[in-house]
Amino acid sequence: MQGLLNSIAHRSRRTRGFTLVEVMVVVVIIGLLAAMSLPAYRRITLRSKTVAVVNDLRAYSTAFITYNLQNGKWPADGTPQVVPPEMLGALPEAFTAKSPIGGVYKWNYDVSAAGLSPVKAAIIIESVSGMSVSDDLDLFEMIDREMDDGNINTGNVQVSTGSLVFIIEK
């Protein structure tokens, strides 16, 4: 009887753990699942940033266009993260905050827009100290496809000197 109990106890001790092969198989499966999910996570992240930037640019450009239609002129050129005095109350507070893709918003009137010329009116997302704009070309192209022709070198959405430029009027 004692031998039977020892045999059962010995067997139950052996079946309670996992073998190294079983653990390695589980680790490999988890690694494969993680590797397959990373591209999907990147697409979701890019899409959310794109939607946020597109919504911001549409809201800001609508405010500037409305000002132009009501006053027959564009507001004076601005500085980064500062709402032009003529636009106080017309632009959301987010204009002075960091953009979803890094950098900050700037109103540009009648001066070269981040190296692009000639541009009469534009909204620029540019780098300032401590806040650089993303350098992800996939992100820029996704924003361009949502708002323009899908080519970041032509049309109303362009990338120049590391800045994203949304041209309202040439």
Under DSSP, the state recorded for 146 is H
The answer, yes or no, to whether residue 15 has pLDDT greater than 70, is no
Tokens of 143: 């924003």
Q: How far is CA 102 from the centre of its chain?
A: 8
The model carries a pTM of: 0.79
The strand ranges marked E within the chain are 104-109, 121-126, 157-160, 163-169
Single-letter code of the amino acid located at 169:
E
Among candidate residues 56, 61, 44, the one with its CA nearest the CA of residue 138: 44
Half-sphere exposure of 37 (CA within 13 A, CB side): 6
pLDDT digits (tens, 9 = 90+) for 131-150: 889 888 999 999 999 999 98
Judged against a pLDDT cut of 60, whether residue 5 lies above it is answered with: no
- Residue 3 above 80 pLDDT? no
**Residue in 118, 99, 121 with CA at minimum distance from that of residue 109:** 121
How confident is the model at residue 129, as a pLDDT? 84
Confidence of residue 115 (pLDDT cuts 50, 70, 90): confident
